[in-house]
Amino acid sequence: MTNNVVPASSAGAVGIAVAAIQLTDPSTWWRDIDESPTWQNRIFYTLAVLYGVVSA
């Protein structure tokens, strides 16, 4: 019989690597917005309308 048990140190390292990848994935949404003229226009117009409402 073979032993298919993963050592705890390897399992912990894999878990840390997966957590690190998951922490970097959310930052890609900012790059998508930063590179998109459509999103930039929407944000600009939303802020302009809100400024108009506040200043009135």
Does 10 reside within a domain?
no
Does 40 reside within a domain?
yes
Does 51 reside within a domain?
yes
Q: What pLDDT was estimated at residue 17? A: 65
Is residue 39 scored above 70 in pLDDT? yes
Does 25 reside within a domain?
no
Does 13 reside within a domain?
no
Does 52 reside within a domain?
yes
pTM summary value: 0.49
pLDDT (tens digit, 9 = 90+) per residue, 2-27?
A: 555 555 555 666 666 666 666 566 67
Measured CA to CA in angstroms, residue 38 lies from 30, 41, 42, 48, 51 at distances of: 14, 5, 6, 15, 20
Q: What pLDDT was estimated at residue 21? A: 61
Is residue 47 scored above 80 in pLDDT? yes
Residue 51 domain boundaries: 30-56
The Cα 18–Cα 24 span in angstroms is: 10
Domain total of the chain? 1
The Cα 37–Cα 40 span in angstroms is: 5
User: Does residue 52 or residue 3 have the better pLDDT?
Assistant: 52
